[in-house]
Every structure is written in C-alpha cells, then in structure tokens.
Structure 1
C-alpha cells in the first residue's frame, strides 16, 4: 500500500471518536485486526508469547473473553476520556480522527490476567513489571493510548473470576529444577 492509501485504509478501521460514532461494532472488530506498521515487531513477539500461553491455560472462550473485554472496554473508556479532553479544551479538535488501531489493549489485558497463572512469590515481581511497563508511559506522556493500556491492565486483573479455577499456578522454581534434571 502506498503511505497515503495505508493511512486512509487504517483510519477507516480506527477506533477513533469519529469512526466509533459512525459504526462502533465494525471498528471495534476491524481495529483489532491491524497494527501500526512502525511498531509491529514488539507486539508480534509479545502477542505470540503471552497469548499462546494464556489461551492454553484459559481455554479459547475465556481467553477470548479477556481479549474482548480489555479491547472494547479500554477503547470505549479511553476514547470517552479523549472526547471530554477535547470538549474541555485540553486536546485539539482534530483528535477525533486520531489513528487508533491494534491488538495492544487485548495484549495488555492478557498480560495482566496471566498474573494469576504464576505462583506466589513469583507473581508479585511479574505484576510489578507489568504495572511498570504500562504505568511509566502513562506517567510520562499521558496520552489516551497510554491511559487505554493502563485500563486494559486493570480490566485483565479484574478478570480473576474467569481464571480462579484454572488449575495449579505455574511455579518457575519447579520448572527450573525440572530442567536441571
């Protein structure tokens, strides 16, 4: 795709305020099918590792429920916050057409719900790392996307009722001992 065509193509699939007001269901689905071409590699690696582990542990329906909850709720709440910021003069009006695509909100939710897969005391450093990964950008740049990622983490953590009966928690110490023979 040419750069101009790609931008227009992605903008029509973006969960920005303009597109959400026109066809919310379509853009909530199609936006998750694309990623910003400049950031595809980190998300592809994280997506593969975390989503594969989560789907094996949770099963497809629970995994999908976490993905959808994080993607949809974080998108709607962060775009509402952006709309309020535009209305109150804290963001420019052209932000209604901001390009907002990708699976990153779903990924953040899944990364958070995996906290419950890890046995204590390993769970707490993992949770601290996930929170730091998403809180630092929120604290330093405060964009609606950073806010959406943080919301996705909270939503993923809130999915505990979906995962509480999913078997024994993974203990890294046991895995390392087994690998040593």
Structure 2
C-alpha cells in the first residue's frame, strides 16, 4: 500500500512539474506529434517536405514568418527522446524561473536572430563564391538555436562559483566545434549562445541565484 502511495505522490509531483512549465511541454508535445508524422512519411517525400519548412535562404526570401514558426516544430534526424531530456533539463527550469513570457522571448530571440546570422553568413559566402549556390536550399530545421539561447541564459540562474564552472562547460560545448571544423550551423549556435547571454535583463527580479550547496538542506527542511 505504501508503494502505491509513493507512486501516486511521484506521479502527482511529475504532473505538477509539467504544469509549472506549460510552454516547454506543449512544445515538446508538438515535436512528438511531428516526429511520429515524419516516421510515417514516405522517404521520397520527406526531404522536400522538410525543406519547405526549413529556414534556408530560398524559403526565408519568400515565406520568412511561416518558416520561422514551422522550422521550430520539427526535429532534426527524427528522434524525439533526446529532446525530451534536453527540454526537461534546460527549457523547463528556465521557464519555471523566468516565467513563460520571458522564457519564450529568449527562445524567439535566439531562434530568429541566430538563424538570420547564420543564413546571412551563408549568403555572403555564396556571393563570394566560397559556397555553392545550391546551399541556398540547404535543409535547416530544428530547435537547437532556441535551446542554445536558453542554455546560455541559465548561467544567471546559478550562484557563484558554480556559475563559472557551468559557463566554462557551455562555452566549451559550443566553441570547440566552431574552432575545429566550423559550419554555418556551428556559427548560428554560437550566435544563439551570445544572444542568451545578452538576455540578462530578462532575469532581473526573478529571485536569488540557485546554490547547489543549499539544495540538500532545503530538501531536508
């Protein structure tokens, strides 16, 4: 009987956590539905279907608003579970801390501005002849720019000195690929990271930074 009670409590706690970050889990639900749809799509249509919802230069020049929205509703590679983990680890805490409106502002800013920066750099490369003209139709979907922005803004959620360790890891994750074998996507991720850091004003008044050292004591009380 006690096991059943504990299971119900855990289920209730999980449900309460989901309700506390509605934007995160609604977005995750959309990604689940679109991922399932993608797996049921004939392979010969999949690439063209996604390209029309991609923030590549061709689509941005004709349907910018539409592709900014639709590109954030599909997963790159058709895998959903890794995103469920990443959204729970990063997006949900950020939304609970900032509130849905501010969290969404970070996501939109990182997604839109990093996309424009990356595609702008690609356009310059095409005009300079260092990238082929066919690159204008490159598939570019996914939610990684918004994720990078949220990962960055969470640095202000953590108290020093833990903040600096987190910052070092984040910078390493996003700058090593950029320096090793840079792509326009890597450049976009780095820009999204900088945008997340620049969103510090949105964190003002959102409570004192979280100190991991104080967590065990808080849980015991």
Which residue does 2:24 correspond to in 1? none
Which residue does 1:116 correspond to in 2? 156
Q: Given the alignment, which residue of 58, 61, 64 partners 1:21? A: 61
Instruction: Quote the Cα distance in structure 1 between the aligned partners of 2:166 and 2:202.
Output: 20
Structure 1: runs of 5 or more not aligned: none
Computed over aligned residues only, the root mean square deviation of the Cα atoms, in angstroms, reads: 1.4
Q: How many residues align?
A: 181
Displacement of 1:11 in angstroms is 0.4
Instruction: Give yes or no for the alignment of 1:146 onto 2:192.
Output: no
Contact 1:43 / 1:104 at 8 angstroms: preserved in 2?
A: no
Instruction: Give yes or no for the alignment of 1:33 onto 2:52.
Output: no
Matched ranges for 1:45-84 at <5 A: 45-84=85-124
Larger Rg: 2
Matched ranges for 1:134-173 at <5 A: 134-173=174-213
TM-score normalised per structure 1: 0.95
Describe the superposition over 1:4-47 as per-residue Cα deviations: whole angstroms up to 9, x where unpaired.
21111110000000000011000001100111125544333212
| Partner SS state of residue 37, structure 1 | coil
Instruction: Quote the Cα distance in structure 2 between the aligned partners of 1:89 and 1:41.
Output: 39
Structure 2: runs of 5 or more not aligned: 1-40
Displacement of 1:180 in angstroms is 6.9
Instruction: Quote the Cα distance in structure 1 between the aligned partners of 2:198 and 2:79.
Output: 27
Displacement of 1:140 in angstroms is 1.4
